[in-house]
Amino acid sequence: MEKFDKLSGIAAPLPLVNIDTDMIIPKQFLKTIKRSGLGVNLFDEMRYDRDGNEMPDFVLNKPAYREAQVLVTGENFGCGSSREHAPWALADFGIKAIISTSFADIFYNNCFKNGILPIVLPQEQVDVLMSDAEKGANARMEIDLEAQTVTTSDGEVFGFEVDPHRKHCLINGLDDIGLTLEKAAAIDSFEARAAAERPWV
């Protein structure tokens, strides 16, 4: 998993509430078990018409936001089913952080496992960041995970909370497998000792 420390990127405003995982990645794209390739279908039903043409009014289809790395969204983002394909699609598109007043629990946990930082802030602060994101590509938002701050293009700074263990994992690029591999020497030692003590197993 890619390490997350500091991010300076374009933020896209998506001021909708209750964006569920089926909106993030519709069910017809869940056949794959690969984490790559889903970005093109992110928000598929909002991005494309029935003929597969881009709908120019959708934020990620606008030239200013095609390279967005941050989403500023309405409350309860990621509700609905527990599909992990949702953070896969967001990550594959290039989204590295999502800012909202609240997230669905399973989606929130899945973000950390896939290198995405979900940031919870009060409504008044999200409103400021939403307005900042509406400025387009010239307004870059700064996110410092070590300092736990979000800085607007105008220099306004907001602090956010994050679980220390999850922060450690993101900064060091550790998913569940990476965490296990950190203990590889201890695991090998245990296995060798167990084999010596119980050769019949």
How do the pLDDT tens digits run along the chain, 201 residues long? 889 989 999 999 999 999 999 999 998 888 777 777 899 999 999 999 999 999 999 999 999 999 999 999 999 999 998 889 999 999 999 999 999 999 999 999 999 999 999 999 999 999 999 999 999 988 899 999 999 999 999 999 999 999 999 999 999 998 766 665 555 566 666 676 767 778 776
Point out which residues pair with 8 in neighbouring strands. 142
- pLDDT for position 178: 61
Tokens 């060091």 locate to 172
- pLDDT for position 179: 62
- pLDDT for position 28: 87
Classified as helix, coil or strand, 129 is: helix
- pLDDT for position 198: 80
- pLDDT for position 30: 81
Strands of the 140-144 sheet, one edge to the other = 117-120, 97-100, 70-73, 6-14, 140-144, 149-151, 157-159
- pLDDT for position 200: 76
Task: Judge contact between 115 and 91, C-beta under 8 A.
Answer: yes
Task: Judge contact between 45 and 27, C-beta under 8 A.
Answer: no
Domains of the chain: 6-197 (3.20.19.10)
Q: Which residues contact 95 (CB under 8 A, 6 or more apart)?
A: 68, 69, 70, 71, 116
DSSP 65: G
CA distance 159 to 177: 30
